[in-house]
Structure 1
Amino acid sequence: MLSRAPPKAYHLLLKTHKLTIFLTVHQSSTIAKAKEEALSALTSDVLASPSGVPHFPTVPGEDVDMVEGNAQVPRIQSTEDFELCRAVKDKGKSNAASFASTPVSYESLNPSTPVKGLLSNWEILYVQFRDEDGNLLPVEVSQPSLLDEDDEEPRRAPLAQESPVAVSKGKRKAPPE
């Protein structure tokens, strides 16, 4: 079987607060180029409302929460106002377990480092903003729940019957509900 060639363009997910930005960068570009793309997305007119308060396109009913909520994306002017970072993975633990139970630590990415060899396709990066003094603020990101609040526990398949069942060849019938 032939191995796949590495992609020429990497798709990266950039997360901050309740916002996810999809970036496409060439494999030979650097983290600095990805920061420029992130700056363009974070300062675009799509996020600004006429009142000057950042506006995030969401489903109806969530607009009030986003504008009046306690977590707003800080305004930035240049690539010096933030850093791109990624979550540090603990060895021996699965990602889901480490994100759910322990606080996640982040490592800043060197702007002069090329994307190829450092990142993988569809990797999640995070924005770490700087305060007025130039100190890095903690990463603020909210991970959405995979279940709706109104939904109950996910339905599981019924357990297999313990009584021996004659195995016959041919079409299988769906189990009774």
Structure 2
Amino acid sequence: MPPRVPPKTYILLLKTHRLTVFLSAPQNATVGSLKAEALSALSSPVLRERTDSDPVPGRIPTAPGEDEEMFDVHGSANANVNEDIPAVTSVDDFELCRAIKDRGRQNAAAPAYEVLDPDSPIRGLLNNWEELYVQFRDENGELVPVEVSHTSLLDEEEEEQARRAPPPPLPPQPTTPMGKGKRKAPPE
């Protein structure tokens, strides 16, 4: 099979906390230009503002039951659902990183993240539709751990059933090597 041609425009998912930002970049872009786009998204007034017409600021329910999570017990909207995202003023306030896929670990609680060099081009470094993560810096300039919550595609009940259910049994293997080579007529 011939190698896959890289796309002319990469679509990348930038994740932090409960926020996902879709970034598009040409194949000759660098990680530094992605950081500038991420800064624009993270410092956008839409992320922090609350309008009177918006019952829950900056948030649209995307999963069943999620609209109930956005309201407290009394039915009033939360003050700001994005308030836990640190405010950024420059590209030096955060780094872009990606999760390191370790084949030895399965569904590790805290995956490791690799910080991407701002001068490196994204072509050959990233795949189309790859997830990138924001690693913020604290007041001392030290990187704080990545905070991101991954939502499940299954309902909670279905997810628990999938965890509890035993794996399906393997189909029985034939005892004779009938499937190999040409078929022979059965003996009469």
* TM-score, scaled relative to structure 2: 0.69
The offset of 1:117, in angstroms, is: 1.1
Q: Calculate percent identity across the aligned residue pairs.
A: 50
CA distance in 1 between partners of 2:50 and 2:126 (Å): 37
- In structure 2, the residue matched to 1:34 is 34
| Residue number among 144, 147, 158 corresponding to 2:151 in the alignment | 144
In structure 2, what is the Cα distance between the partners aligned to 1:37 and 1:105? 24
Counterpart position of 1:74? 86
Provide the rounded CA distance (Å) in 2 between the counterparts of 1:35 and 1:70. Answer: 19
Q: Letter of the aligned partner of 2:85 in structure 1?
A: V
Instruction: Name the CA shift for 1:2/1:101 in 2 (closer, same or farther; >3 Å).
Output: closer
The question of 1:85 aligning with 2:85 is answered no
The amino acid across from 2:60 in the alignment is: T
Taking a change above 3 Å as real, the CA distance of residues 123 and 79 of structure 1, as seen in their structure-2 partners, is: same
Q: Which ranges of structure 2 fall in alignment gaps of 5 or more residues?
A: 62-66, 73-77, 170-188
| TM-score relative to the length of structure 1 | 0.73
- Tell me if structure 2 keeps the 8 A contact 1:17–1:71: no
Q: After TM superposition, give the deviation of residue 136 of structure 1 in Å.
A: 0.5
User: 5+ residue gaps in structure 1?
Assistant: 160-177
Q: Name the SS of the counterpart of 2:68 in structure 1.
A: coil
1:93-132 Cα deviation digits (max 9, x unpaired)? 47xx2xx234211111000000001111111110000111
Residue deviations 1:113-155 (CA, integer Å, cap 9, x gap): 0000111111111000011111100000011122223557369
Cα distance in 1 between the residues matched to 2:3 and 2:116:
29
Does the 8 A contact of 1:56 with 1:63 survive in 2? no
Paired AA for residue 116 in structure 1: R
Separation in 2 of the partners of 1:18 and 1:47?
12
Check 1:49–1:63 CA distance in 2 against 1; reply closer, same or farther (3 A cut). Answer: farther
Query: Paired residue for 1:118?
Result: 125
Amino acid at match of 1:57: R
Alignment root-mean-square deviation, CA: 3.1
Partner of 2:23: 23
Structure 1 residues 16 and 3, CA, compared in 2 at 3 Å: closer, same or farther?
same
**Structure 2 equivalent of residue 175 of structure 1:** none
Q: Residue 46 of structure 1: SS of its match in structure 2?
A: helix
Distance apart, 1:61 and its partner CA: 3.1
Residue 153 (1) aligns with residue 165 (2): no
Question: Over alpha carbons, which structure has the higher Rg?
Answer: 2
Distance in 2 between residues matched to 1:41 and 1:70, nearest whole Å: 13
